[in-house]
Amino acid sequence: MLVYSHTDCLLKDNGFNHPERKERLDSILESIKQIEDIKINFKEAPFVDMDTISLVHPKKHIEKIFSNIPKSGLIGVENEPYADTMLCTNSKNAILRSCGAGIAAADDLMNNNKRIFCAIRPPGHHAETTKAMGFCFINNIAVTARYLQKRYKINKIAIIDFDVHHGNGTQEIFYNDETVAYGSSHEFPLFPGTGSEQETGVGNIFNAPLKAGVQGKEFLKIFEQKVLNPIDKFKPEVILISAGFDAHTRDPLANINLESKDFYKITKKIVDLGNVHSEGRIISFLEGGYDLLALSESIKEHFLALEI
């Protein structure tokens, strides 16, 4: 297993009492290092370049975000009720490396590394083409998908998102694109408000909204029916995972009741699909997850299943 990360990703500060904090990544990296049964190679995430970002986001939009980075303190990027997507002095490097991890991982993936995890922050799945929101600036997984298509001529990519929040950004970016299938399980209604089953794109969007209180067994059933079965029919050549661990019962931002071991079962089902259709090629990206114990336990389960 290959893991991309960088100390720059620990330097992004969102202010006092913000759930998206550096300790999340500390907890994940510490836990990964304790896994004895899997040989893990750590690599430093490089910066992504502007041309690659522009496969998804207009350069002007990204330059505007960077031009707002404060010389000290914090500044929010949103003009909406959820004004909690913050820029600090160290944001630029963290943002560029989070996306760069995916690009480097894509190169490794096509060079015979079958399983790669990007241990990064800020996350990406809420970032739309021209809108930073939900702690996200660049949609890391979307840029990686576009890069795989352009550089390696991959025709069909599936993005599977089990973060408890709907990946509105990823959905928006690929809404009219039949070459990318997007399947998401998420609590509904919940931030960001999108993700109903009626949002189907051009037959490439598969949303599985979940009621608050859902437990592991029901989650897996719905996930299989509404996300995995259609993606099985799609037959992706590569699978990308938006791995958020905030559907855990301990998570403070949502109300789905998964246990840590459920992340093994979810991941195993994705891996089974990847082994059938995608030559086992899977890159997983850290998205959300805000309880440190849940993160440290769940990431181990995710890795154990990815190794199969």
Q: Which residues are catalytic?
A: 126
Q: How far is the CB of 253 from Zn ion (least distance, A)?
A: 7
- Can you give the length of the chain in residues? 308
**Residues sharing a CB contact under 8 Å with residue 275, sequence separation 6 or more, in sequence order:** none
- Residue 244 binds Zn ion, judged by CB under 5 A: yes
Where does 121-238 have alpha helices with state H?
Answer: 140-152, 168-174, 216-223, 229-234
Task: Write the DSSP string, 17-29.
Answer: T-SS-HHHHHHHH
- Residue 163 binds Zn ion, judged by CB under 5 A: yes
- Residue 165 binds Zn ion, judged by CB under 5 A: yes
Residue number closest to Zn ion, CB atom: 288
If the CB atoms of residues 163 and 237 are measured against Zn ion, the closer one turns out to be: 163
Q: How far is the CB of 246 from Zn ion (least distance, A)?
A: 4
If the CB atoms of residues 149 and 195 are measured against Zn ion, the closer one turns out to be: 195
Of the candidate residues 256, 288, 298, 301, the single one contacting Zn ion (CB under 5 A): 288
- By CB under 5 A, the count of residues binding Zn ion is 5
Q: How far is the CB of 111 from Zn ion (least distance, A)?
A: 31
Can you say whether residue 6 is alpha, beta or left, with left for phi > 0 and alpha for psi between -120 and 50 degrees? beta
Q: What are the φ/ψ torsions at residue 4 (nearest 5 degrees)?
A: -100, 130
- Residue 124 binds Zn ion, judged by CB under 5 A: no
Q: Mask 95-114, x = binds Zn ion (CB under 5 A)?
A: --------------------
Contact region for Zn ion (CB under 5 A) — 55-63, 67-75, 138-146, 245-253?
A: 245-253
Which H or E element spans position 106?
Answer: helix 91-109
DSSP state of 1: -
**How many other C-beta atoms can be found within 10 angstroms of the C-beta atom of residue 98?**
31
Q: Which of residues 17-76 bind Zn ion (CB under 5 A)?
A: none
E strands, the chain, are 2-5, 41-44, 75-76, 86-87, 115-118, 157-161, 180-187, 205-210, 238-243, 282-286
Which amino acid, one-letter code, is at 145? A
Closest CA to 99 of 8, 192, 233: 8
If the CB atoms of residues 165 and 302 are measured against Zn ion, the closer one turns out to be: 165
Contact region for Zn ion (CB under 5 A) — 52-60, 158-166, 171-179, 206-214?
A: 158-166
CA dihedral over 92, 95, 98, 99, signed as positive or negative = negative
If the CB atoms of residues 209 and 244 are measured against Zn ion, the closer one turns out to be: 244
Q: Mask 246-285, x = binds Zn ion (CB under 5 A)?
A: x---------------------------------------
Q: How far is the CB of 287 from Zn ion (least distance, A)?
A: 6
If the CB atoms of residues 161 and 301 are measured against Zn ion, the closer one turns out to be: 161
In the complex, the residues that contact Zn ion under the rule CB under 5 A are 163, 165, 244, 246, 288
